[in-house]
Amino acid sequence: MYRIQPHSHSKFSSRVCLGSIFAVAFALACWAAPAAQAQSFHLLYTFTNGVDGANPYAAPTLDRAGNLYGTTTGWTTAGGAYELQRHNSSWIFKPLYNFQSQNDGYYPEAPLVFGPNGTLYGTTQHGGNRCNATTCGTVFNLQPPARICSNISCPWTEHPVYWFGGDELNDGDIPGSGPLTFDSAGNIYGTTISGGATGNGTIYQLVHIQNGWTENILYSFPGVGLPGQPQAGVTMDAAGNLYGTSMGYTYGCVYALIHTDQGWNLQTIYVFQGGNDGAYPAGGLIFDAAGNAYGTTEGNDQTQPGSVFELTPQGDGTWHETVLHLFTTGYGPKANLAMDAAGNLYGTTLGLGGLQGDRFGMVFKLSFVNGSWVFTDLYDFTAGTDGEYPAGGVTIDANGNLYGTAVGGAHNFGTVWEVTP
């Protein structure tokens, strides 16, 4: 069973088996997409559902040496963290930590991020020892061994940063699948899909204190028909304001949480209509140097389309939305976009790709050429040894190589891959 979050408006954001998505995908007619380009696809690692884990949901994270770090959501386990260490032209897989279920959390779906101290931080969507339910979730820190280890298996140490208490404490429930964000002071920002004052999710801040961390709820999302249930994390601008997406307003919206002397105020930037502007923004936002925001909507198979969009500030506090690409059938992007130094956008789709009706996901590129955006299908997954359903987006290195994961596969438990330009 693969664990892909639906764009559900239910309180607990329940899991759905991808088997239902597979059935819909096979029933769809062939999608008329631009032909895939002659890119090089390299399979870096295939998961076995052993000590290495299974079903990597998030894209891996790069360190300065070009090594990759990521998580698995688990299949027969509670999930784990891994490193793929670059060794000349090959890669060496190293398990870093295996979650033990309820106490330290389980099902880490968000990408790992490097904190100010150079160690890794992430979230699990369930577990934590303050939780009396099956949801809740945790924020954790992974630190390497104190001494240099020459073995393949050198477990890292997991340090709890925060355990959510869920509905009982109103502090948030089920962290979103987007990456954590740090400010210049080392404070952590993130979202929960549910929980909070009304059960519709929160935006939280974790502040480091002498004996650990303390949580501040910056915003509790209101009830049905308003912003709520944020699947993605938040992005911070230079002024310390936070931006993100939510599943509220029927088809979703984009919001800004503005920091003022009196506190935090939420402003709705854009409300999706479920038509040619897209629907259900499961991924977060990225910004270019000019302050324009870019994001995606996942869509809802054939009923509402997915999209890649741009939001441009107008100078009067409003934003203008432009659709850069519309996915008219199937399931579109679910994760954050990535941008290279030239301003090209890259991402993955959950259930599109292939010119023969196969819909196991794709890697795509959007380039701004002669005043318009040009869409390129870089790679279509086949559900073979390459895997299927690349839910987590891509990571770009300094040479423009793309790295990502596939959640599963017909013959494996997920993969890590590279697409080179």
Residue 25 phi, psi dihedral angles, 5° rounding: -60, -40
Average pLDDT over residues 281-299: 96
Residue 142 CB: number of other CB atoms within 10 A? 20
CA nearest to 68, candidates 120, 30, 27, 20: 120
Query: pLDDT band at 152, cuts 50/70/90?
Result: low
The mean pLDDT of the chain is: 86
Each residue of 351-383: b (16+ CB within 10 Å) or e?
Answer: bbbbeeebbbbbbbbbeeeeeebebbbbbbbbb
User: What end-to-end distance do the CA atoms of the chain give, in Å?
Assistant: 33
Asked if 80 and 57 count as a contact pair (C-beta separation under 8 A), the reply is no
Query: pLDDT band at 331, cuts 50/70/90?
Result: confident
In the prediction, which pLDDT does 84 show? Answer: 97
Give domain 3-420's CATH number out of 3.30.300.30, 2.40.30.40, 2.130.10.130, 3.30.70.360. Answer: 2.130.10.130
Three-class secondary structure assignment of 172-215: CEEECCCCCEECCCCCEEEEEEEECCCCECEEEEEEEECCEEEE
In the prediction, which pLDDT does 32 show? Answer: 34
In the prediction, which pLDDT does 178 show? Answer: 95
Q: pLDDT higher for 12 or 124?
A: 124
Confidence check: pLDDT of 8 > 80: no
In the prediction, which pLDDT does 235 show? Answer: 98
**Amino acid identity, residue 148?**
I
DSSP state of 125: S
Q: What's the CA dihedral at 131, 135, 141, 144 to 10 degrees?
A: 100
Which tokens is 98 given?
């295996």
* Calpha distance 182→184 (Å, rounded): 7
Which tokens is 322 given?
């432009």
Which tokens is 293 given?
């925001």
Which tokens is 121 given?
């931080």
Number of H helices and E strands in the chain, helices first, is: 1, 31
Residue 75 CB: number of other CB atoms within 10 A? 17
Query: What pTM, to 2 d.p., does this model score?
Result: 0.88
pLDDT digit string, tens, across residues 56-83 = 999 999 999 999 999 999 866 789 999 9
**Which runs of E-coded beta strand occur in 125-164?**
138-143, 157-163
